[in-house]
Structure 1
Amino acid sequence: MSTRLTRDPSGWLTHTFDWQSIESRSCDVKMRNTTAATCLWEKAKERSDEVAIYFDDGSQLTYGQLAREVHVVAGALRGLGLEVGDRVSAQLPNWREFVSINLACCALGLVFNPIIPIYRGAELGFILRDAGTKVLFIPEEYRGLNYVETIRALRGNLPALEHVIVVRPASGVAALKQLGATGLETFLSARTDKSSIYPEVSPDHVKLLMYTSGTTGQPKGVLHTHNTLNRVVDNILALRQLGPADVMFMASPVTHVTGYSACEMPLTTEVKAAIMERWDKARAVDFIERTRSTFSVGATPFLHELVQECSQRANRLPTMKHFACGGAAVPPELIRQAHRVFEHCRCFRVYGSTEVPLVSQGVTERSLEELAATTDGRIFNYEVRVVSSEGAVLGHGQEGELLVRGPAMMVGYTDAESTRASLTDDGFFLTGDLGYVTEAGDVVITGRKKDLIIRGGENISAKEIEDVLHTHELIQEAAVVSMPHPRLGEGIAAYIKLSDPTRPVSLGDVAAHIESNGLARQKTPERIEFIEEFPRTASGKIRKDLLRQDIRTKLAGTGS
């Protein structure tokens, strides 16, 4: 396979593969060659009154309603003078407005950049600068965070940002204007362009920019096209044989690659979606029952709490068929327990990332419960190569780094050098994850080369936290590692060497320092261990494997 970099209309260099050069191709690389917006226009014309998406506040969107909303948003965006390839960001909860904004960008050939709502000053400023965002959609306030104030503080360092649109504002028009923002209703009512003629958008152009934590401390901007994202959805449907009778229950943030799929699956396929604003186990059970949802993809805590709630209610969720679980570590006993509680639902582990979504699709057969509990699932429509630290290809059952390629993988990062460094010459993505492949074709993840902590399904860069800790006057050196967490899979532990042992820092001091530097609260260490000297390799690198082992031993000894 030959790999080359080409410049996308967005301005970024993306990698292109010649799949036809593979003599014995093991992947189905057939692409839909369409966009979600094109699919929406067709469905709105053919079945306007049919429900596409349910929301847990009791509202719903039919294809006709959605098409009308998208036309309005697209007209308002076009009135700003945006051109194909320009970037629009949205830092929103799981609200219906997110769906319309995403599809309006899709119709206009804009690059849509969803931003996880927990991100604050430091992360948000980097993302908006790196993306070159021209238009930003935010709530005014949500879950105690004031987004308008955050943007006002950052705006002087965001030269590309021209418009800030506030969704569901609490303040009046004058107050928002004073803050340099516009309410969504004001923005939409002022539109003068009511044309329903849209530019011709290539399905191979970049449509989604999504940031994921990197090992260097700065997030990496992952680029996907209309075709790669459609292929992600098609992989799910092909293996699990889903169709018009199925409804995807989604409680993950729509700003995450997992949750985002629920916004477009009802358009490019016959499957409907049921989107929950924020996770609540009791509301989740009620919502699944009301919408007769049949499958879901979610983080480990969701499955754990769903099992708890259903067990207490003696509710076996009879409509559910599949629950794919990933992000945080999945205890094998949780899978077994779920199968005892649910009537029909098969639960299983899956493996993937923003760069290579859903490399494995789980194990759905009822007779293979142990494989579902002890492996990360059947590899589907991806090629996986396992290599040693020297680059030698390893056989079945041998542990090494996983290299992955397939038609649903990203087309690169916003940084061209990162794109080049992440790929082999023949187009495999270096995942940084350690594991092995069984003879049956199941993948098992055993660890990570990347210095990442996966907390409740969210990637957190250890280095990013360390860089902030090193700015504290009382901390000489710090090392951040993952530790077992009963609910989130992994928590954050900080090993600290003090500048002066007689002047210790408390967990509260560390939390205040993290917050004052603009990091999200989720990046605050939950435990501190003081250390006189770090264990190191011969080259001087800190032995984080020993620190992880140490914290596991200590937690096991305390019963935490």
Structure 2
Amino acid sequence: SIDNIVDLIKNEPITFIDSVSTVIYDILFNATDLGKLNRLICGGDKIQPDLLKKADKRGIPLYNCYGLTEAVPCSYTPQAYFEQHNHMTAAIKPMEGIEMRIINHGKVITTSNIQGSIEVKGPVIFKEYLFNSEKTKSSFDDGWFITGDNGHYNYDHLLVIDGRESDKIIRGGENISSQAVEEKVKHCQNVKEVTILGIPDVRLGQRIGAFIALKDKNQPFNKQTLIDELNNRSVDKKFWPEKIWIVNSIPRTANGKVKKYILKQMVEGEK
């Protein structure tokens, strides 16, 4: 528990901690005495700017160390670069012996501020998914592992992680399928259609956001109504939306694909 971690930091000569954003958040916001702690390393998710600010305010540098289960930590934020940018950057470069690239529509991107899919190559990459040769084959692009994350190069040609390109929501280090959440919510009585989005959160990385169009707009409906119905249907709590937006309809392209960028703009407009 976080209380045990706080006690260890206070009573033991711990100088650095490497963990997911949730644990880092709890340390920075709950540990009054940081003891000998002088460095934090965060992996497994995109670091939110507010978390970097809190770390800087507490006087503890928070470095990004990017990797995946299939590609153990393969990149990092250089210390000199981190200092030059006043501890407010999570940009990364590959570790020695590792190659990283960005692919956009089949082309390798080398210029700044063009988003694409991040691929990694080197000795840290896993060999295969056990007993799943098809998934293994589809996860590689001519020897490059397809991470499933999007990113772009900044003007200094360091890589910035933008987030997952799949339907996964990474909440406190746990991958939650947005499609699985949609399946649970769409069967609620007054839900006409729904789409699920990962909402940025400084502590958990992301929270579950639901955009819902109602069958009957005159019938009372809010987050608690939704949670009560999901609870009565014994839906696992990890699939419960944490914030909802009631919309007239879900914006879609001509072929039915949800225009998630419009929904993201709606969220950003509330900040």
The structure where helix makes up a greater share of residues is: 1
**DSSP-derived class of the 2:17 partner:** strand
Residue matched to 2:58: 341
Confirm or deny that 1:323 pairs with 2:40. Answer: yes
Percent of pairs identical after alignment?
28
8 Å CA contact 1:336–1:373 kept in 2: the answer is yes
TM-score w.r.t. length of structure 1: 0.43
Give the unaligned 5+ runs of structure 2: none
**Distance in 1 (alpha carbons) for counterparts of 2:84 and 2:53:** 7
| Letter of the 1:493 counterpart | G
Equivalent in 108, 126, 132 of residue 410 of structure 1: 126
**Distance in 2 (alpha carbons) for counterparts of 1:539 and 1:358:** 38
Confirm or deny that 1:373 pairs with 2:88. Answer: yes
Give the Å deviation of 1:529. 1.6
Residue matched to 2:139: 422
8 Å CA contact 2:46–2:162 kept in 1: the answer is no
Give the Å deviation of 1:504. 4.5
Cα RMSD after superposing both structures: 2.8
Matches within 5 A, 1:238-257: none
Residue matched to 1:297: 18
Confirm or deny that 1:485 pairs with 2:217. Answer: no
Q: Deviations over 1:339-364 (max 9, x none)?
A: 4534xx53212222222232323333
Q: Deviations over 1:12-53 (max 9, x none)?
A: xxxxxxxxxxxxxxxxxxxxxxxxxxxxxxxxxxxxxxxxxx
**Distance in 2 (alpha carbons) for counterparts of 1:486 and 1:437:** 23
The structure where strand makes up a greater share of residues is: 2
Give the Å deviation of 1:527. 1.9
Residue matched to 1:358: 73
**Distance in 1 (alpha carbons) for counterparts of 2:266 and 2:65:** 28
**Distance in 1 (alpha carbons) for counterparts of 2:29 and 2:248:** 43
CA pair 512-327 structure 1, distance change in 2 beyond 3 A:
farther
8 Å CA contact 1:326–1:457 kept in 2: the answer is no
**DSSP-derived class of the 2:169 partner:** strand
**Distance in 1 (alpha carbons) for counterparts of 2:174 and 2:211:** 21
| Letter of the 2:260 counterpart | K
Residue matched to 2:181: 465
**DSSP-derived class of the 1:306 partner:** helix
**DSSP-derived class of the 1:374 partner:** coil
Equivalent in 9, 14, 25 of residue 288 of structure 1: 9
* Total equivalences in the alignment: 268
**DSSP-derived class of the 2:93 partner:** coil
8 Å CA contact 1:483–1:552 kept in 2: the answer is no
| Letter of the 2:70 counterpart | E
Q: Deviations over 1:208-246 (max 9, x none)?
A: xxxxxxxxxxxxxxxxxxxxxxxxxxxxxxxxxxxxxxx
Give the unaligned 5+ runs of structure 1: 1-277
Matches within 5 A, 1:362-401: 362-365=77-80, 368=83, 370=85, 373-380=88-95, 381-388=97-104, 390-397=105-112, 398-401=114-117
8 Å CA contact 2:41–2:65 kept in 1: the answer is yes
Give the Å deviation of 1:462. 0.7
TM-score w.r.t. length of structure 2: 0.84
Residue matched to 1:176: none
8 Å CA contact 1:371–1:377 kept in 2: the answer is no
Q: Deviations over 1:153-178 (max 9, x none)?
A: xxxxxxxxxxxxxxxxxxxxxxxxxx
| Letter of the 1:503 counterpart | Q
Q: Deviations over 1:281-313 (max 9, x none)?
A: xx4232024332232222324333323345xx4
Equivalent in 230, 237, 244 of residue 521 of structure 1: 237
Give the Å deviation of 1:370. 2.0
